[in-house]
Amino acid sequence: MDWIGLYPTWYEPGVGSGWVVGIMATIHVLASHTSVGAAILFAYLAVLAYRRNQPQLLDYIRKYGMFLLVFSYVIGSITGPGIWFTTTVASPRGISALIHSFVWKWATEWVFFVIEVVGVYLVVYLAGRVDQRTHMRIAVIFGMASYTTMLIILGILSFMLVPGKEIWFTEGGYLNGFYGANTFAQLAMRTAFMFTMTAVVGGIVAARITDPAFKREISRKLAWLGIVSSLVGAALFQWYIRSLPETAHLVMDNRLPSYFQPAILTVLLGILAYFVMTLISSRTLVVWGASLATVSILLFGLWPEEVARESIRKPWVAGQYVYSNQVIGRDVPGMRIKSEIPLLESHGFLKTQVFLPDNLRVVTPDNMLKVGESLALTTCSNCHSLSNTGMRPLHSYFGNTTNVAEVEAYLRGALATGATLYMPMIPLKPEEAEALAVFIVNMKQPQAAIAHIQHKAALAQADPAATSAASFHEVR
């Protein structure tokens, strides 16, 4: 008998495991994009400082770098592995798929990451202690190494959504998985917006400059960087949208929160207005204003973006072969990967799942609710909260019905056959669908679920043999 290699499930009832990943990722994106953009900005300013003999630019690099040591190299460098940690517990087979395909890419990124961490200390602490030409060279190496980390992670992020080339499914090959239209579109868009973040966060440091002339100079540089990168980023966003797979467009059209587009548009216009304001008058560049702009990007720009990125991958979580509920939902001959759906269709979840107590492997009236709960944990809770809070509460997806048979019919119809586009195919056996339906109804109206269980128990008592054969037989 084969097993389905599903891990135990972590269920976080407050916000849901998906949002824990989202919160970590949002914070990391702000910190890491800012640091990569700042590294390139530092390289540019260091070159200017050397060529124009403007040592005060090094002072700004040093101060911005000191700020980044905490902002990006404490928070950013810890939340980076933090995304691994949170995805490990929320979606172990999803992160495993990425790790096993791109371990050498990540290892390569790690080399640049080491260079980056050593580099930032040198850029910050050696300003004024080495000759300007050497400092410029260190800054340029630091900037280039930083950007390579973004190049690498972008390919992996794109693969998460869709493998670069369709041919990857049949022929495999790491390059086919890594490079594609979405890789370059996403890279270009993020490169632009990373400079927007660099300019906004850089304002927090620039606002403290006491020399009015120098503050004006830095303020103008940051403002132009922010304006151009925001406009270019907005244009590249259209390219990125066009590079998305068709399923992603359907999800965007039908399933994204209504606040998504207005929030993105508002924050973009707001940030543009902010940069225009600081361009006109550097006196308007103040610490609280720049901090507010940074928080706005975090809450109204990056958070909706991360939520959308998670949503448009549905029903997959990685590479369009690992379902969001961790089941391998597709053959990938190029990687000798077999879909687990046929095995589930034959034997169901209860008989094939590694992490299931033996007392839940056969459905009875006594354990029906608990079996349903375990199935909800396994097949639903990655995307749907099993409580009233958190993301997409499960019970709210079945209208007003409290009829077990109606819920079961949906589970065995649209869900088990994979007829719902953005949902994984979940081939539940009849008794599994019934148990899951009882659990779902129990969340809405416990009396209805209990009545159903009592009814089944009465049937079993009246005719144990028939009931056993009809309803509670071994599913394998």
Q: Where in 74-93 is the site for another protein (CB under 8 A)?
A: 74-75, 77-82, 84-86, 88-90, 92-93
Q: Which of 148, 284, 291, 468 binds another protein (CB under 8 A)?
A: 148
Q: Cα angle vertex 118, ends 115, 123, to 5°?
A: 110
- Which member of 32, 34, 35, 101 binds another protein (CB under 8 A)? 101
Per-residue tokens: 90: 């929320």
Of the candidate spans 10-18, 272-280, 296-304, 388-396, the one that interacts with another protein by CB under 8 A turns out to be 10-18
Residues 184-223 that bind another protein (CB under 8 A): 184
User: Contacts with another protein in 293-332 (CB under 8 A)?
Assistant: 328
Q: Determine, following the binding rule CB under 8 A, whether residue 113 of this chain makes contact with another protein.
A: yes
Per-residue tokens: 265: 């548009």
The count of residues interacting with another protein (CB under 8 A) is 102
CB nearer to another protein: give 356 or 441: 356
Are 64 and 205 within 8 A, CB to CB?
yes
CA-based torsion, 6, 12, 16, 19: positive or negative: negative
Binding piece for another protein, criterion CB under 8 A, among 169-177, 189-197, 221-229, 462-470: 169-177
Pick the stretch among 56-64, 100-108, 301-309, 411-419 that binds another protein (CB under 8 A): 100-108
Q: Which amino acid is at 232?
A: V
Which lies closer to another protein via its Cβ, residue 152 or residue 227?
152
Site map (CB under 8 A) of another protein, residues 119-138, x = contact: x-xx---x-xxxx--x--xx
Q: Which of 64, 102, 349, 422 binds another protein (CB under 8 A)?
A: 102
Radius of gyration of the chain (CA): 26
Binding mask 423-452 for another protein (x = CB under 8 A): ------------------------------
**Residue 405 engages another protein in binding (rule: CB under 8 A):** no
Is position 147 an interface residue for another protein (rule: CB under 8 A)? yes
CB of 420 to another protein, least distance (A): 24
* Cα–Cα nearest to 131, from 50, 41, 43, 63: 50
Cβ-based nearer residue to another protein, 56 or 401: 56
Measured between alpha carbons, how far is 119 from 138 in angstroms, rounded to an integer?
A: 7
Q: Is 179 in the site for another protein (CB under 8 A)?
A: yes
DSSP 296-334: HIIIIIIHHHHHHHHHHTTTEEETTTEETTS-B-S-BGG
Extract long-range pairs of 166-172: CB within 8 Å, 24+ residues apart.
167/334, 168/332, 168/334, 169/320, 169/321, 169/330, 169/332, 169/333, 169/334, 170/333, 170/334, 171/334, 172/332, 172/334, 172/335
Q: Minimum CB separation from another protein for residue 21, in Å?
A: 10
Verify binding: residue 96, another protein, rule CB under 8 A: yes
**Where does 313-416 have alpha helices with state H?**
341-352, 368-379, 404-410
CB 188 within 8 A of CB 234: no
The region that residue 238 occupies, defined by phi over 0 for left and psi between -120 and 50 for alpha, beta otherwise, is alpha
**Nearest distance, CB of residue 59 and another protein, angstroms:** 15
Which residue among 52, 246, 358, 400 contacts another protein (CB under 8 A)? 358
**Does 459 interact with another protein (rule: CB under 8 A)?**
no
Which tokens hold the place of 127? 């300003």
Q: Kindly tell me which residue out of 61, 209, 244, 360 binds another protein, with binding defined by CB under 8 A.
A: 360
Considering only the stretches 180-188, 431-439, 445-453, 462-470, report the one whose residues sit in contact with another protein under the rule CB under 8 A.
180-188
Residue 10 or residue 214: which is nearer to another protein going by CB? 10
| Of 385, 369, 373, the residue nearest 456 (C-alpha) | 369
C-alpha span between 452 and 226 (Å, rounded): 61
Among 55, 118, 238, 455, binds another protein (CB under 8 A): 118
- Cis omega before residue 315 (within 30°)? yes
Question: Considering only residues 329-348, where is the footprint of another protein by CB under 8 A?
Answer: 335-338
Contact between 114 and another protein by CB under 8 A: the answer reads yes
Residue 111 in contact with another protein, rule: CB under 8 A: yes
75 vs 264 by CB, closer to another protein: 75
Q: Which residues contact 2 (CB under 8 A, 6 or more apart)?
A: 343, 352
Residue 169 CA to residue 355 CA, distance in Å, equals: 29
Question: Of these, 62, 165, 347, 452, which contacts another protein (CB under 8 A)?
Answer: 165
Q: Record the tokens describing residue 439, joined without a space.
A: 């659990």
Stretch that binds another protein, among 99-107, 233-241, 443-451, 456-464 (CB under 8 A): 99-107
Task: Name the phi and psi angles at 472, rounded to 5.
Answer: -115, 20
Q: How far is the CB of 323 from another protein (least distance, A)?
A: 13
Residues 6+ apart with CB under 8 A from 130: 138
